[in-house]
Amino acid sequence: MIPPPAVQRGLMALDRSLFQTTVSVVALRIPANLTMECKKAIGGDMLLEPKVRNVVDSDDDLEGASDKTKEFVKEKGVVPTKTELTVGYDHWTADEVLRAVLPEDIIDEAPSSFTTVGHIAHMNLKDEYLPYKHLIGQIIMDKNPNLRTVVNKTDSIDTTFRFFKMELLAGEDDMIADVRESGCRFKLDFSQVYWNSRLHTEHERLVKMFSATDAVCDVMAGIGPFAMPAAKKGCMVYANDLNPTSYKYMIENKSLNKIKDNLKIYNLDGREFIRKAVEDLEKSGYKRPPAVPVIPKGKKGAATPAAAPTPAPAAVVAAPETEHAFKTFDHYVMNLPGSAIEFLDAFRGLFKGREADIPEPKKQLPMIHCHCFSKSDKPEDDVRERVEAVMGGALEMDSVSLHWVRKVAPNKDMYCISFRLPAAIAFASDEKRKREPETETEAEPRSSGSSSHVALGSPEEDAVKRSKTE
């Protein structure tokens, strides 16, 4: 490999001309018709340098070459010669360039990694790299031609909607990104809403759990990474976010994805939305769509007995309605890991007075999927105990599962606890709700569902009739 030249370390501004370098290499002057035979014969002695041709048109010494190469040269009468290769800034990777220009004491973890959101590269630079942040940003953009903007997450967090503020390191100051995930298109303002491309696996995991006939309530929906694919799958989806910018882009993304009436969008406090969505779903006269019957196919190519008469086409009969008339959500998604557990108190007494309508609570009450953080070495116990403390009652263990999502810090992991709403909590008559102590000060950034700020209260159809109060 050709190493980068000894560029002045500690550069504050990028000078690409400093990277031009010329090296001398041994060459074999051969007839063109021997090219393939020569390449095969000299094998590992051939120059293998990224972005550099190892066979060039022609315009002495073979020291260090293998015996196989020397034998080939002697047998074929090939003439060794010397030539020069000149390479420049474009030849090396971002990591190689950064290691050449940053001070030696900080090059061991040269910051060449980033996450991509459309045309935006999002970096999270450690303090020691901040003096060189614009140099780093320019190198990252140069080495990734699909990028137009490079930003860095700052320490300043929006206290209401929990998204990190950004600073521009290089390129265009354009934070409106267009991304695709799970067969959906998402438009967003990366400086005003939360989006994390690393969560696409978690988005897909939950959506795969939903049946096309399910009703889904997404309490902290962001711009809709759960809501949009669930609606496109056929689910009836009610989606909410407190952040008015997230609300705005959910409405736009609904249109971009050509989703019709099975997605209702709200801009409410999380607790208020949990209760209002149940009321609105019932008022809408929602009935679960019948499951599409699956007609088994015979084996391909199987012969029909000659004596067997051809049966008349069978009528496709829709699955009958269940005996219970009351319908509510099958799933709740609560994807605000820094504080979602705190909102679980809203489920206490949510179906008080509806006991007669829900005679089979283990089937009819919804599943809740709540994201959270844990630093415990026993996360199953830690998360369950926190959930039970907030809800004021025990979970039914046969319905509880804990899924590890990802590591967010050396001693901090993100999880999703899934459980069926217990009847004792759903039908509770008291208003005693315990709050989880606020132990997370560095919550996963995204739009909050916090009750500290009450925003707009009607679905998107009423958006044009009222002004925002934020």
Judge if 115 and 230 occupy the same domain: no
Q: Determine if residue 411 is labeled as part of a ligand binding site.
A: no
Residues 383, 259 within the same domain: yes
What are 61-89's pLDDT values in tens digits?
566 677 777 777 777 767 777 777 787 88
Does 49 lie in the same domain as 79? yes
Alpha helices per DSSP H over 219-320: 227-233, 244-256, 270-283
In this structure, the answer to whether residues 164 and 278 fall within a common structural domain is no
Cα gap 221→228, rounded to integer Å: 10
Residues 81 and 129 in one domain: no
Task: Give buried/exposed letters for 156-168 (b at 16+ CB in 10 A, else e).
Answer: ebeeebbbbebbb
With bands split at pLDDT 50, 70 and 90, how would you rate the model's confidence at 36?
A: confident
* 457 Cβ contact list (under 8 Å, min separation 6): 266, 267, 268, 272, 276
| pLDDT for the residue 53 | 63
Q: Binding site annotation covers 242?
A: yes
Structural domains of the chain, count: 3
Cα 335 to Cα 372, 407, 460, distances in angstroms: 8, 16, 21
pLDDT 10s digits, 181-218: 999 999 999 999 989 889 999 999 999 999 999 999 99
140 lies in the same domain as 221: no
Would the pLDDT of 156 be above 70?
no
Confidence at residue 3, expressed as pLDDT on a 0 to 100 scale: 67
Query: What's the rounded Cα separation, in Å, for the pair 361 and 11?
Result: 66
Domain assignment present for residue 1? The answer is no
User: Running DSSP on this structure, what letter comes out for residue 259?
Assistant: -
Burial class of residue 214, CB neighbours in 10 A (0-12, 13-18, 19+): buried
Give me the domain span that covers residue 49: 21-87
In three-state secondary structure terms, 463 is: helix
Query: Which of 30, 56, 87 delimits the end of a domain?
Result: 87
What is the H or E stretch that residue 85 is in? strand 79-87
Which of 87, 120, 144 represents a domain boundary (last residue)?
87
Residue 154 inside a domain? The answer is yes
Does 158 share its domain with 284?
A: no
Give tens-digit pLDDT for 384-399.
Answer: 999 999 999 999 999 9
203 is in an annotated binding site: yes
Alpha-helix residue ranges (DSSP H) falling in 319-420: 361-364, 379-391
pTM recorded for the entire structure: 0.74
Q: How far apart (Å, rounded) are the C-alpha atoms in residues 14 and 252?
A: 40
The domain that holds 263 is classified in CATH as: 3.40.50.150
104 and 212 within one domain: no
Q: Which of 32, 56, 87 is the last residue of a domain?
A: 87
Shared domain for 327 and 395, answered yes or no, is yes
* Domain annotation covers residue 14: no
Q: Which of 108-122, 231-245, 425-439 has the lowest mean pLDDT?
A: 425-439
Phi and psi, residue 251, nearest 5°? -60, -45
In this prediction, residue 431 carries a pLDDT of 60
Pairing mode, strands 263-266 and 331-334: unpaired
Q: Is residue 265 part of a domain?
A: yes
Band of pLDDT at residue 452, cut at 50, 70 and 90 = very low
The reply to whether 247 and 277 lie within a common domain is yes
Q: For residues 61 and 33, state if they share a domain.
A: yes
For residues 416 and 368, the answer to whether their CB atoms sit within 8 Å is no
Is 345 annotated in a binding site? The answer is no
- 111 and 222 fall within a common domain: no
Please indicate, yes or no, if residue 5 is contained in any of the structural domains. Answer: no
Is 240 a domain residue? yes
With 90 as the cut, is the pLDDT of residue 139 above it? yes
Distances (CA, A) of 132 to 76, 125, 218, 386: 54, 10, 41, 43
Q: Are 347 and 365 in contact (CB under 8 A)?
A: no
Asked, for residue 255, whether it belongs to a domain, the answer is yes
18 assigned to a ligand binding site: no
Instruction: Look at residue 284 and tell me if it is in a domain.
Output: yes
